[in-house]
């Protein structure tokens, strides 16, 4: 949201009230409160002017909240993010010039100088960012009558901004206008399915805006020196989150907004879908499942997309009996083959669904302001939308899904949740429709995930969700939306995943080979490599099937190789999944997150770290050429055993059976004994592959069991000594070095 015409002038009709100084500081309720008048207070007469009210508080250790109000009497019922706030008091010290408000390692210094507005945020004595002259404001747009609360925080020389949810454009957000508005726009536009009002800075701090509405960010765009935050209304609440490392920021942020649940081990295997508009029945599905088995490609989950239900009736939660006459028996037969089953749903009820009249009569759908049911043809004819603010609608929706679980469904693809109306509608609980637009996705996915945890047990619940916002990371996993069958879309998909990871989401997936159109074989094969080196891996498309033999025979070999590689890497991958669950550190990590001190890593968006030990650079060209950056140290290629000295850029060509997959120096990589499934006892037949261990180095390795508990803890000293700290003392652990460490 731009308010200015350059540095000096405001746009026509913009009427600002700027915070000019801090007046009447008062320690209250564990925080610091004061008035910010619009001009310097020289005498009593100067108090007869507009002002902002300010409160500085500490919702959590290392986090400082700033609340700015113009009018406090707004009686609208807003949905608020569910935050795990602690009752902490700021440490406050004052002198004549300033008041220091400290939470953990983070300090907000409030200027007390007359006529000088200033909030300066510091960590370890170093300045992170600040709000200065004409930064904190209320701006009334006289053209529309809409009021905005604004803040501008300084950008430093060479400072980069990341995150703000799933974004398909440039990875570093400098120079961009970013609005928090969930939309179904595919992967090639500024719209995003998952908007999160959190950004990370390369200087080692984060900023989270505690507002579920259409928050707008100008990141060095209106003012090249500032990040401007603007929200509609009379109140702005933002939090500065301490680092000093990006992972520290995410640990604090997810402690506040919620840590990702730990997905079950089986969910990390290969998922195969019916695709969207294809014609299929049990014979088709069974043929694909058998085809994968005949080709020795391990399959973990089979997904039934939309047309498991009849057309025009989405959703009615009922199998199309013409296509699937015995759904319960069919699911039992697939379970006997060792498969888990996923089905597609959305939060919309078509008027041709058998459920529609019941939902209307019981008030389960979002209503128009005049009392009727809000309906649209945009997706399903005459559809309404479940109102998850109604507790009875919540229970009803869960009851419908529970029957599917009872019949043998294991997990749910929660599609849509973005096309939520805001004009002329009302919610059961009176929530503001504008602020419900994004937050609806949180309630929708929470409703389904809550049921799965209740019915399947914690540690065995998983979604495949498209929409989300702050806090939605608690309900994994999320996929990247409707991409297309092209390298450029594959690259934008990765950029979105990196941005989402920088926004606190621990688990992420995408449609391998692209959703729209059908990829040529070379794109399919390259995307299979990338997809199997993501946290979750799904073959899915729109109008054609995605089994590899429909592309070429080499695609079968490529898919088999990388599915089996992922299965062998599961002790490591699940170890990092537990880390995401307990600390909030994502499995897919942008390079800056692991190498914050390396300037070359600050803008990289065509490679990533899988956990902290494996570097992946997907290939985005038909000829197999790829250019990537290796940080300092001697790295080892996981697949061919080559050594490479880092601190430089590398250009190479790879065939379809390989890609840049490098092991970080000093790594002890746990390798599993099985390559035919992702869920097995990782301690049995365990091997430890050692890469460039420094002489005398000691590394502790934890091997998790199902549910994330530690099954075994090992201590590795050098290349020959391994001892069991926890677990069976007689366990036989094989050490792999050199050529033996190739996979």
b or e along 556-587 (b: 16 or more beta carbons within 10 Å of the residue's beta carbon)?
bbbbbbbbbbbbbbbbbbbbbbbbbbebbbbb
Angle (CA) 137 142 148, round 5°: 30
Burial (CB count within 10 angstroms: exposed 0-12, middle 13-18, buried 19+), residue 603: middle
DSSP state of 172: S
b or e along 658-697 (b: 16 or more beta carbons within 10 Å of the residue's beta carbon)?
bbbbbbbbebbbbbbbbbebbbbebbeebbbbbbbbeeee
Alpha helices in 295-355 (DSSP H): 327-336
DSSP state of 49: S
Q: CA 88, CA 31: separation in Å to the nearest integer?
A: 9
Burial (CB count within 10 angstroms: exposed 0-12, middle 13-18, buried 19+), residue 598: middle
Burial (CB count within 10 angstroms: exposed 0-12, middle 13-18, buried 19+), residue 71: exposed
b or e along 639-651 (b: 16 or more beta carbons within 10 Å of the residue's beta carbon)?
beeeeeebeeebe
3-state secondary structure 213-229: CCCEEEECCCCCCEEEE
Contact predicate 544/575, CB 8 Å:
no
Q: CA 145, CA 458: separation in Å to the nearest integer?
A: 48
Chain centroid to CA 693: how far? 33
SS3 call for 621: coil
Q: CA 426, CA 387: separation in Å to the nearest integer?
A: 10
37: which residues sit within 8 A by CB, 6+ positions away? 19, 20, 21, 23, 46, 47, 49, 50, 51
Active site (catalytic) residues: 415, 418, 482
From residue 262, how far is each of 3, 498, 504, 706 by CA, in Å? 43, 20, 14, 10
Q: CA 675, CA 670: separation in Å to the nearest integer?
A: 14
585: which residues sit within 8 A by CB, 6+ positions away? 247, 250, 251, 506, 576, 579
**Which two tokens mark 685?**
């037949």
SS3 call for 484: strand
Cis-peptide, bond into residue 590, ω within 30° of zero: no
Report long-range pairs for 597-601 (Cβ below 8 Å, ≥24 apart). 598/631, 598/632, 600/629, 600/631, 601/629, 601/631
Strands laid side by side in the 63-69 sheet: 23-28, 31-37, 51-60, 63-69, 235-242, 205-209, 198-201, 161-163
Q: CA 444, CA 79: separation in Å to the nearest integer?
A: 14
Q: CA 696, CA 606: separation in Å to the nearest integer?
A: 35
Q: Which residues pair with 141 in a beta bridge?
A: 14, 146
């Amino acid at each position: 949201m731009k308010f200015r015409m350059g540095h000096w002038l405001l746009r026509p009709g913009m009427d600002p009230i700027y915070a000019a100084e801090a007046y009447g500081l008062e320690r209250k309720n564990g925080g610091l409160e004061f008035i910010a008048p619009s001009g310097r207070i020289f005498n009593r007469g100067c108090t007869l002017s507009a002002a902002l009210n300010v409160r500085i508080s500490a919702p959590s250790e290392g986090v400082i909240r700033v609340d700015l109000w113009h009018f406090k009497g707004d009686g609208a019922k807003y949905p608020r993010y569910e935050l795990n706030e602690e009752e902490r008091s700021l440490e406050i010290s004052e002198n004549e010039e300033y008041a220091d408000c400290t939470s953990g390692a983070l300090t907000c210094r409030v200027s007390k100088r007359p006529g000088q507005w200033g909030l300066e945020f510091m960590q370890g004595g170093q300045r992170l960012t600040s709000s200065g002259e004409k930064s904190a404001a209320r701006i009334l747009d006289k053209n529309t009558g809409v009021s905005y609360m604004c803040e501008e925080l300084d950008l430093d020389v060479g400072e980069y901004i990341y995150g703000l949810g799933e974004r398909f454009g440039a990875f570093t957000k400098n120079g961009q206008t970013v609005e928090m508005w969930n939309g179904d726009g595919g992967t090639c536009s500024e719209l995003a399915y998952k908007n999160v009002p959190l950004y990370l800075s390369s200087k080692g701090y984060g900023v989270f805006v505690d507002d579920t509405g259409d928050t707008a960010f100008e990141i060095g765009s209106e003012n090249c020196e500032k990040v401007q935050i603007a929200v509609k209304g009379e109140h702005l609440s933002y939090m500065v989150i301490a680092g000093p490392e990006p992972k520290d920021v995410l640990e604090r942020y997810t402690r506040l907004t919620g840590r990702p649940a730990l997905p079950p081990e089986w969910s990390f295997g290969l998922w195969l879908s019916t695709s969207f508009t294809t014609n299929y029945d049990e014979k088709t599905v069974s043929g694909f499942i058998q085809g994968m088995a005949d080709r020795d490609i391990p399959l973990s989950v089979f997904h039934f997309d939309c047309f498991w239900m009849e057309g025009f009736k989405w959703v009615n939660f009922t199998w199309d009996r013409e296509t699937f006459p015995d759904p319960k028996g069919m699911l039992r037969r697939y379970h006997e083959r060792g498969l888990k089953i996923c089905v597609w749903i959305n939060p919309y009820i078509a008027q041709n669904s058998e459920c529609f009249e019941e939902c209307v009569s019981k008030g389960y759908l979002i209503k128009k302001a005049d009392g009727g049911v809000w309906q649209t043809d945009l997706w399903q004819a005459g559809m309404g939308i479940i109102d998850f603010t109604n507790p009875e609608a919540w229970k009803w929706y869960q009851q419908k899904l529970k029957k599917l679980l009872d019949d043998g469904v294991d997990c749910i693809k929660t599609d849509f949740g973005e096309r939520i109306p805001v004009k002329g509608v009302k919610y059961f609980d009176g929530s503001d429709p504008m602020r419900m637009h994004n937050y609806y996705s949180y309630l929708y996915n929470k409703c389904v995930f809550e049921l799965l945890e209740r019915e399947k047990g914690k540690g065995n619940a998983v979604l495949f969700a498209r929409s989300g916002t702050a806090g939605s990371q608690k309900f994994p996993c999320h996929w990247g939306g409707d991409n297309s069958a092209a390298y450029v879309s594959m690259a934008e998909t990765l950029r979105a995943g990196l941005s989402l990871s920088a926004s606190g989401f621990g688990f992420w997936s995408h449609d391998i080979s692209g959703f729209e159109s059908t990829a040529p074989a070379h794109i399919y094969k390259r995307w299979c490599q990338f997809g199997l080196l993501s946290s979750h891996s799904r073959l899915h498309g729109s109008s054609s099937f995605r089994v590899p033999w429909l592309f070429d025979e080499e695609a079968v070999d490529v898919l088999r190789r990388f599915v089996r590689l992922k299965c062998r890497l599961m002790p490591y991958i699940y170890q990092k999944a537990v880390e995401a669950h307990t600390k909030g550190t994502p499995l897919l990590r942008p390079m800056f997150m692991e190498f914050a001190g390396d300037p070359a890593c600050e803008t990289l968006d065509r490679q990533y770290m899988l956990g902290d030990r494996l570097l992946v650079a997907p290939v985005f060209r038909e000829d197999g050429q790829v250019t990537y950056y290796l940080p300092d140290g001697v790295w080892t290629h996981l697949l061919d055993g080559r050594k490479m000295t880092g601190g430089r850029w590398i250009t190479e060509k790879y065939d379809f059976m390989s890609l840049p997959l490098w092991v970080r120096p000093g790594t002890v990589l746990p390798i599993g004994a099985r390559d035919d499934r992702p869920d097995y006892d990782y301690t049995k037949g365990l091997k430890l592959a050692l890469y460039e261990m420094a002489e005398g180095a000691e590394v502790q390795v934890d091997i998790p069991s199902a549910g994330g508990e530690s099954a075994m803890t090992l201590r590795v000293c050098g290349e020959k000594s391994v001892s069991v700290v926890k677990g069976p003392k007689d366990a036989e652990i094989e050490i792999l070095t050199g050529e033996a460490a190739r996979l």
